[in-house]
A and B are shown apart, each in its own frame.
Chain A
């Protein structure tokens, strides 16, 4: 069946621009996670949704980062006033049980 999809796959932004990254989880998956992966590092947790409820956002690095999942399916990660240090791969994962299934990621480059 279809896996987790993310769009765009690549995004180049000028410093100060706002960006929106989309995640389409596997149909029926209740849980949705966002991760940030810097070059050469493992993914780091950003935030977690259970259906439409954002139950943990402890990993969001600043108040410029905002995530939503209004209908409990598609999720959007928004970064306002992007900075160069925001350049990374942003991964989305969904799960029904304990195992998380990851999308291909969005590679964000802030110039």
Chain B
């Protein structure tokens, strides 16, 4: 079962920042938040992950609230190629490995 809640779709103007929210109110203290995106007919692509501190890489920034119950993925300057479904995932540690629970994601439409 997905452990995250995301809006089903969002629009963003090309060149503007895209801010994608995610709720994960039942997250446990040692569970990481991961973000992936899936462009049509491709496999999911890793974007970024974090535990409690804000994170930034060449693709995006991840802002996690202090209580860790929600986070926001920020694409600073969205382009048409950023149109995709964005998944916010909680990585759950099991006895054997770390399991990813995907939800339905947010379809981001970047418009010219």
Contacts and interface: CB of A to CB of B under 8 A. Distances in A.
Nearest to B43: A102
B87 A42 contact: yes
Contacts of A31: 97
A101 B104 contact: no
A34 interface: no
A100 B98 CA distance: 10
B110 to A, nearest CB: 20
Contacts of A41: 104
Given A91-B44, A105-B43, A100 B96 contact: no
A48 B102 contact: no
A79 interface: no
Contact of B46 (A35, A43, A55, A101): A101
A103 B43 contact: yes
Q: For chain B, give the interface size range.
A: 20 to 34
Contacts of B99: 45, 48, 56
A40 B104 CA distance: 7
Contacts of A56: 94, 96-97, 99
Contacts of A103: 43
B2 to A, nearest CB: 7
A50 B96 contact: yes
Nearest to B48: A99
B104 A42 contact: yes
A104 interface: yes
B98 A98 contact: yes
B49 A99 contact: yes
12 contacts: A40-B104, A42-B87, A43-B44, A43-B102, A45-B100, A48-B96, A55-B97, A98-B49, A98-B91, A99-B46, A100-B100, A105-B42
Interface of B: 2, 32, 34, 36, 41-46, 49, 87, 91, 94, 96-105
Given A48-B96, A91-B44, A99-B34, 10 more contacts: A35-B102, A41-B104, A42-B102, A42-B103, A56-B96, A91-B43, A98-B32, A99-B49, A100-B46, A101-B46
